Amino acid sequence: MAKMKDVAERAGVAESTVSHVINNTRFVTPATRERVLRVMSELNFHGNAHARRLARGHSDFLGLIISDIENPFFPGLIKSFESSALAGGFDILLCTTNYDAARAEAAFRKMIENKVPGVAVMTSRVDPSLASVLQRNDVASIFLDSGQVAERTSNIRIQYSQGAEQAVAYLHNLGHRDFAFIAGPGNRSSHAAYKSAVVGALEQLGLEARLIDGENSVASGERAVQKLLTSRKLPTAILASNDLTAIGALRAFHRAGIRVPADVSVVGADDIPFASLTNPSLTTVQIGNERLGELACQKLLGMLRDSDAASELVLPTELVIRESTALAAH
């Protein structure tokens, strides 16, 4: 394998000059710089990942692709990702997809046009096959809840089972036997995974939940409760696919004069900032969004430094108990 010395000899410069080109630590004339980069390429010299990026003209941006900045799960994630990136010497290039396939493709294209060395795709709605576009352009990537799709692709899997089991066991201990689950859109892998985790945790106790379709919004939580109110008997405990849905449920119960948690217990998922500010405050399965942003960025930085191989990471979840859950009403 070629060494820095070989590059220096062939380019007719001092080793220190090669180092300055690689690390951008001193001014090198464009002609010399280009000669050094050409020789590095001829000798297939990639002393380190930074040199490789530089030789291929990568920028100092890390890409971050999310679905919707107005979803309160994301601002904390963006902030922690950005902090980690800044600490690692990178700025961030943020793109949103708004759950739109064409915008998602445009976001991936933008990452490549802007020569980012690595991208975190922190929405589970994006087709992981787009990862191959990044691969072809030598862009390291990390996806959320998509499985490891290729050699240079990492994945963060959210371990929903943990939090779901805690929530179900907690409610079971409070005497709840009649459950409903307001599901998120089935076409998002993360919500399908949370639904499976809740259903599985209930099955382990010989229970099952009434399933109601929702779409992760306040309005869909309100609609779901309106539907439940027409049934013969209310469930005593309701789990929702996310906090927005649970907040919608709280509002609909409040309007109907049904007391949470005296008459019915409600559990959300995510732990968005407002989950602790509702009246009553929301018991929820916490998905650490700040931890997620930090984890994604640290892994990406490790991959870029070649100190980390691509791999799958696991983000645990846990139940946070607040005021919206209590003993089952009988």
Please, what is the Cα angle at 150 between 76 and 132, to 5 degrees?
85
Does 297 help bind a copy of itself (rule: CB under 8 A)? no
Residue 322 in contact with a copy of itself, rule: CB under 8 A: no
101 scored as a contact of a copy of itself (CB under 8 A): no
Other residues' Cβ atoms within 10 Å of the Cβ of residue 245: 31
Stretch that binds a copy of itself, among 36-44, 92-100, 116-124, 225-233 (CB under 8 A): 92-100
Q: Is position 118 an interface residue for a copy of itself (rule: CB under 8 A)?
A: no
Q: Which CB atom, from 278 or from 283, has the smaller least distance to a copy of itself? A: 278
Task: Give me the least distance between CB of 254 and a copy of itself, in Å please.
Answer: 6
Contact of 186 with 210, CB cutoff 8 Å: no
Q: Does 247 bind a copy of itself (CB under 8 A)?
A: yes
Question: From the CB of residue 15, how many other CB atoms can be counted at a distance below 10 Å?
Answer: 14
Which of residues 7, 54, 93, 122 is near a copy of itself by CB under 8 A? Answer: 93
Distance CA 214, CA 268 (A): 13
Q: Rounded CA gap, 46 and 170, in Å?
A: 54
Interface residue with a copy of itself among 254, 258, 291, 322 (CB under 8 A) is 254
Q: Are strands 209-213 and 179-183 parallel, antiparallel or unpaired?
A: parallel
Question: 319 with 285: CB under 8 angstroms?
Answer: yes
Position 315 contacts a copy of itself (CB under 8 A): no
Q: How many CB atoms lie within 10 A of CB 22?
A: 23
Query: Which window, 65-73, 133-141, 169-177, 187-195, contacts a copy of itself (CB under 8 A)?
Result: 65-73
Between CA 41 and CA 322 the distance in angstroms is 59
CA distance 158 to 185: 17
CB of 233 to a copy of itself, least distance (A): 25
Helix/strand/coil for 220: helix
Q: How far is the CB of 16 from a copy of itself (least distance, A)?
A: 26
Strands 283-287, 312-320: pairing kind: antiparallel
Residue 114 CB contacts under 8 Å (≥ 6 apart), including other chains: 59, 61, 63, 93
Residue 67 in the binding site for a copy of itself (CB under 8 A) = no
Closer residue to a copy of itself in complex, CB, 128/221? 221
87 binds a copy of itself (CB under 8 A): no
Of 175, 229, 273, 327, the residue at the interface with a copy of itself (CB under 8 A) is: 273
Residue 88 interacts with a copy of itself (CB under 8 A): yes or no: no
Size of the site for a copy of itself (CB under 8 A): 27
Choice from 10, 110, 227, 322 touching a copy of itself (CB under 8 A): 110
Contact criterion met (CB below 8 Å) for 64 and 95: yes
Report how far residue 119's alpha carbon sits from residue 260's, in angstroms, rounded to the nearest whole number.
42
Which CB atom, from 96 or from 283, has the smaller least distance to a copy of itself?
96
Residues forming contacts to a copy of itself in the complex (CB under 8 A) are 68-70, 72, 74-76, 78-79, 82, 91-96, 110, 218, 247, 250-251, 254, 273-274, 277-279
